[in-house]
Structures are given as structure tokens and as C-alpha cells.
């Protein structure tokens, strides 16, 4: 509460909004949210885990500011990003009397943000929503940028919309109730920002990762703010991902394929999959002569120290053959027919979109990497 809050603007014309970062913000949510309301009422969507830890505090904070609340609690987990849960959420929100001018609050991790944001985008042809992310991944990634959606049996995030929030409230204290493994997974996205575009931030992380992972207030504040600032800048330049925004997929072409091979169970978290994927992106870049051959070792050492997996063969999944893996990568929505597009790097902090990488190069790399000792 004594820390000054950091405000990061996301500049998107009439859809601009602020990301507000600080300690104890949940307790201040009443004053913060009040200025977006046409009447003193908000509907909150959250999940069973988050409700247990943080819903009461939010309700009290809003209540203290004279705001009435009603909540929808969905089951925790990725499977809530479904048509079924979307329908239930929309029905519940309508049942609570949510009107066109009301604000819906998403209190939770990326699953809640994506589901609630999508529900808000279609409810009464679009209502406003405020993100209160509670996982580290949601703090630095999913709560910012306006991508919302659910999964299909054809793949993840295939049904959705761009719907920017009206405000993002990041209370750094809430991640303290997050399981350690989820913190490490969220951390992978933080390191991603350094690797893709800010070498000095990555160097800072090399010293301070243990503090960030231990949720030290000052370290977390710096890491989250730096990450959000970079995402905000990239999104402002390329809201619908026609160019630069693709850089945020560093490590994700490989990573998504591990998640798909695993069937999206909790045996492998997204952050764990992209940790391996980012090491591979740097290794592949070295192999293609785009960057120094040994840079990947620095990336690998970093994620290893953070307690993240760095080696495909050690993942708790049945590793497909290189040929099958290439097929899976091709099915990712980010690939274009023909050769694959990767986010590769010329060095730490210097990623770029590399389209048309010949399949035989990718296959040769995968064979070597999956076989390496």
C-alpha cells in the first residue's frame, strides 16, 4: 500500500486503457472500478481456486465503495474454456441482470480472463470488462492485449474475439497464493520478454530471477511492469497480430506442439512447454547461422535455474517422432500452408519473424535435438 502504483497505458485510440500495478490493489478495487461504472453494480467471474483465496477481499473492497456485487464461479482449469462453460457464464451473467452499460470483472488466471473477456464481448453485443489477473502468467501476458476466447476440439483458442478490457488491475500480492509450479510457469513468459526484445532486462533477470520467483515485492514489481510495458507497446503497434505481435510467440511454435502432443493436461503447463521451446528457438537459430551457436546455453542455464524444463526428452509426455512433431507444429494456427514460420533470434533480445524455414532444416534440427545426449 505504501508503494506508488505503476500505471502503464495501452494506447489503442478509443479503446485505450491503463494497466495499474501495485501491492494491495485488490483492497483499492472499489475506488478504481467505480470510475468505470454507470450504476453501483458489478458482476464478477472467477474460478473455484481463486474464489477461495481472493473473492471475499474483492467483494469487501467493492462493497466498501458502495458497489453491489454478484459472482459467477466456474470450475478451475483449462477445460472451462469451452462452449459449455461460455454458455453457462453468459446465462448466469444475464440471470444476474447484467445490462449493456455494466462492467464485468474477470478475477482469475488466463482461463478466467479469456472466458470472461469472450463472454463480455458477446453478451448484449458487447459489455465492458475489467481484468483483475491473479496468476503470474495472467499478470504479464493474458490480461493485456484483448485476445479472448475458448478452445475447440480442433485446438486451443480457436474460437474467440479481440475485446480489450477497460482497465487491468494487477495486485502483486495475490500471486503469493499461487502454487510454486504455476509461478515458475508464469516466469517463463517474463523471461520471454527479455529474450525477444530487451537484453538488459534478461541480464537483470539472470541476477534477480530467484527474487522474482520468491515473489519479493520490489523484484516482482519491476519484472511485471517491464513485461507489461513491452506487451503494451507491441500490442499498441500491432493489435491484431499482422506483424510485430507475432514476436510474443517466441518459443511457442515448439511449445504449442508439446502441449498438443500432451493433450493439454496439467502434466505439462504452458510455461513449461515454452521454456523448452525458447531454448530450442535459440538452438535452432544457432544451427541456422542466425546467431552465435552457444547463446542457447545461456538461455538453457537460465530456465534450468528457474526450475523449468529445458529438454524435450525429459518432458512428462510421450515425445512424438520428429516427423510427427513437425506435423503437429504445422497444425498450429500460427503456421501458414507450406513451410513453417518461427520466431528466431539474432541474439538475446533480438528476435524476429522467420517465415519459410525449409521443412528439411526443421526436421534435421528436431532429429538432432530429440536424439542429443
Ligand X SMILES: NC(=O)c1ccc[n+]([C@@H]2O[C@H](COP(=O)([O-])OP(=O)(O)OC[C@H]3O[C@@H](n4cnc5c(N)ncnc54)[C@H](O)[C@@H]3O)[C@@H](O)[C@H]2O)c1
Binding mask 1-30 for ligand X (x = CB under 6 A): ------------------------------
Contact 161, 122 (CB under 8 A): yes
Q: Write out the E strands in the chain.
A: 6-10, 17-22, 41-47, 68-74, 103-108, 128-133, 147-152, 155-162, 167-171, 340-347, 350-357
Number of residues that bind ligand X (CB under 6 A): 30
Asked if residue 259 binds ligand X (CB under 6 A), the reply is: no
The verdict on 121 binding ligand X (CB under 6 A) reads no
Report which residue's Cβ sits closest to ligand X: 110
- Distance from the Cα of residue 5 to its chain's centroid: 22
Does 81 participate in catalysis according to the annotation? no
124 labelled catalytic: no
Taking the C-alpha atoms of residue 268 and residue 318, their distance in angstroms, rounded to an integer, is 11
Among 183, 338, 351, 322, smallest CA distance to 257 is for 322
Name residue, grid cell 482497465: 167
Among candidate residues 189, 239, 259, 272, the one labeled active-site is: 189
Is 125 an active-site residue?
yes
| Catalytic site includes residue 252 | yes
Whether 249 is catalytic is: yes
Q: Angle at CA 75, nearest 5°, toward 70 and 81?
A: 100
Which is catalytic among the residues 252, 283, 300, 302? 252
Which of these ranges, 89-97, 103-111, 254-262, 284-292, lies near ligand X under the rule CB under 6 A? 103-111
Question: Can 270 be counted among the known catalytic residues?
Answer: yes
Residue 178: C-alpha distances to residues 108, 109, 184 (Å)? 11, 10, 10
Q: Is 49 in the site for ligand X (CB under 6 A)?
A: yes
DSSP 52: I
Does 82 interact with ligand X (rule: CB under 6 A)? no
Query: Considering the complex, what minimum distance in angstroms separates the CB of residue 123 from ligand X?
Result: 18
The reply to whether 167 belongs to the active site is no
The whole-angstrom separation of Cα 269 and Cα 234 is 25
Given the rule CB under 6 A, which of 71-79, 94-102, 214-222, 363-371 is the region that contacts ligand X?
71-79
Q: Binding to ligand X by residue 232, rule CB under 6 A?
A: no
Residue 163 annotated as catalytic: no
Q: According to the binding rule CB under 6 A, does residue 178 interact with ligand X? A: yes
Catalytic residues: 125, 147, 189, 231, 241, 245, 249, 252, 256, 270
Amino acid at each position: 500500500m505504501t508503494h506508488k502504483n505503476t500505471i502503464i497505458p495501452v494506447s489503442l485510440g478509443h479503446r485505450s486503457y491503463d494497466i495499474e500495478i501495485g501491492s494491495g490493489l485488490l483492497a483499492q478495487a472499489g475506488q478504481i472500478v467505480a470510475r468505470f461504472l454507470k450504476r453501483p453494480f458489478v458482476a464478477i467471474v472467477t474460478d473455484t481456486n481463486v474464489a477461495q483465496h481472493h473473492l471475499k477481499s474483492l467483494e469487501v473492497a467493492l462493497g466498501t465503495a458502495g458497489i453491489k456485487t454478484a459472482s459467477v464461479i466456474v470450475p478451475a482449469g483449462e477445460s472451462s474454456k469451452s462452449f459449455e462453460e461460455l454458455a453457462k457464464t453468459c446465462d448466469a451473467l444475464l440471470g444476474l441482470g447484467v445490462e449493456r452499460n455494466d462492467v464485468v470483472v474477470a478475477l482469475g488466471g488466463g482461463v478466467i480472463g479469456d472466458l470472461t473477456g469472450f463472454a463480455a464481448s458477446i453478451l448484449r453485443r458487447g459489455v465492458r470488462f475489467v481484468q483483475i489477473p491473479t496468476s503470474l502468467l495472467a499478470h504479464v501476458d493474458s490480461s493485456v492485449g484483448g485476445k479472448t476466447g475458448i478452445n475447440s476440439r480442433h485446438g486451443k483458442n480457436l474460437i474467440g474475439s479481440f475485446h480489450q478490457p477497460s482497465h487491468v488491475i494487477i495486485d502483486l500480492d495475490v500471486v503469493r497464493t499461487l502454487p510454486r509450479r504455476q509461478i515458475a510457469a508464469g516466469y517463463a513468459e517474463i523471461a520471454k520478454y527479455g529474450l525477444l526484445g530487451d537484453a538488459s532486462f534478461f541480464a537483470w533477470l539472470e541476477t534477480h530471477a530467484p527474487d522474482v520467483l520468491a515473489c519479493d515485492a520490489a523484484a516482482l514489481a519491476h519484472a511485471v511492469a517491464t513485461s507489461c510495458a513491452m506487451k503494451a507497446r507491441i500490442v499498441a503497434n500491432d493489435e491484431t497480430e499482422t506483424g510485430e505481435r507475432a514476436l510474443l510467440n517466441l518459443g511457442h511454435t515448439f511449445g504449442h506442439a508439446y502441449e498438443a502432443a500432451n493433450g493439454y493436461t496439467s502434466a505439462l503447463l504452458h510455461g513449461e512447454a515454452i521454456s523448452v521451446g525458447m531454448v530450442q528457438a535459440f538452438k535452432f537459430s544457432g544451427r541456422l547461422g542466425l546467431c552465435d551457436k552457444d547463446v542457447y546455453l545461456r538461455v538453457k542455464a537460465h530456465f534450468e535455474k528457474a526450475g523449468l524444463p529445458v529438454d524435450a526428452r525429459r518432458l512428462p509426455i510421450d515425445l512424438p517422432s520428429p516427423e510427427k512433431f513437425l506435423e503437429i507444429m504445422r497444425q498450429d494456427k500460427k503456421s501458414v500452408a507450406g513451410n513453417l514460420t518461427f520466431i528466431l533470434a539474432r541474439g538475446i533480445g533480438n528476435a524476429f519473424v522467420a517465415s519459410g524455414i525449409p521443412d528439411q532444416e526443421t526436421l534435421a534440427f528436431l532429429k538432432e535435438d530429440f536424439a542429443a545426449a
